[in-house]
Amino acid sequence: MSEQALREVEHGITVLAPAKEVYRLLAEVENWPLLFPPSVYVDYLERDGNTERIRIWATANGEARNWISLRELDPVRLRIGFRQEVSAPPVAEMNGTWIIEPISERETRLRLLHAYRAVDDDPAGLDWIDKAVDRNSSQELPGLKAGLEQASTSAELRLSFTDSVRIAGSSKDVYDFINEADRWRERLPHVSEVTLTEDTPGLQVLRMETLTKDGTAHTTESVRVCFPHYKIAYKQTTLPALMSLHTGYWTFEEGTDGITTASSQHTVVINTANIAGVLGSSAGVPEARAFIRDALGSNSRATLEHAKQYVQARR
């Protein structure tokens, strides 16, 4: 039986941001955890001019998963084509295009096109894909719109910083300390409860309760993507009240002298609606930035210092 033509559907939304800025933010995949609520981490596997092969880690229906996508960038026409390298049943084939169209200098129409076919052209499979694409696109675009508008206009609400510690030990030993987060309750005094699940090797869900310097408890949940023995990237899916987004990564660089530089990087977007409730009615964005920098930095530095003590005591 011959294959049927691909089913084609379109979804769209208007974004209050310049078209070229929208294109840039979508083209640079390192921005995706900031733009797409389900996106945890994206890594380049291959790049050749405007052709890319990328691996995407994201959450779906409460579970963490990953897949490989191929992309074609068109910076002149402001288009980005994509297709799944390997589709999962009932999808036999799927591709799509982001089309970025300027409405004015500050307003953009963002169109998302999908084309797909079901395995064996099964009508029930096609109906399942129809509903999934419509549901996912309808849920994804409003969150993407908010992320794009925030990224292009609200620089004061974004905060990025890094803390580093030099450790006399191997990058593997330092990595292991951060990777073994299920043991943090016994190893880190600011962690009071912790649950770590790792159904897929290297893809973790970490839920924990941490204490700030003033004794305030925060329950957070993160999805972590682990790359032995040099990097652990994460995105919080349950956030403290002052943050509307929090991503970050741990990195481990071992020098020829046997010294490992361990770093903790954070990128945060401030939730302005909760500033007064957390910090008082007189507080504003500057106070929130200072509070978050101090709270996250203190916990990260404490974790790195305990990793240092643990690793160096084993030498």
**In a structure prediction context, what are the per-residue pLDDT tens digits for the chain, which is 315 residues long?**
456 789 999 999 999 999 999 999 999 999 999 999 889 999 999 999 999 999 999 887 667 888 899 999 999 999 999 998 988 889 999 999 999 999 999 999 999 999 999 999 999 999 999 998 998 898 889 999 999 998 887 789 999 999 999 999 999 999 999 999 999 999 999 899 999 999 889 999 999 998 877 777 889 999 999 999 999 999 999 999 999 999 999 999 999 999 999 999 999 999 999 999 999 999 999 999 999 999 999 999 999 999 999 999 987
Task: Report d(CA 51, CA 74) in Å as an integer.
Answer: 9
For residue 1, the model assigns a pLDDT of 44
For residue 189, the model assigns a pLDDT of 92
Which residue is it, tokens 């990793």? 307
- 7-153 with 156-313: one CATH topology? yes
**Minimal CA–CA distance to 242: which of 298, 302, 293?**
293
For residue 62, the model assigns a pLDDT of 66
**Architecture in CATH for domain 156-313:** 2-Layer Sandwich (3.30)
For 212-271, list the strands marked E by DSSP. 217-227, 231-238, 243-254, 259-270
For residue 89, the model assigns a pLDDT of 87
Sketch the domain layout of the chain as residue ranges: 7-153, 156-313
Q: Which CATH class is domain 7-153?
A: alpha beta
For residue 86, the model assigns a pLDDT of 87
For residue 314, the model assigns a pLDDT of 84
Q: Are 139 and 11 in contact (CB under 8 A)?
A: no
Amino acid at 314: R
For the chain, list the strands marked E by DSSP. 7-15, 39-48, 51-60, 63-74, 79-84, 91-104, 107-118, 158-168, 191-200, 203-211, 217-227, 231-238, 243-254, 259-270
For residue 61, the model assigns a pLDDT of 62
DSSP for 187-201, written as a single string: H-TTEEEEEEEEEET
What tokens were used for 286? 């500057």
Task: Report d(CA 164, CA 71) in Å as an integer.
Answer: 35
Stated pTM of the model = 0.89
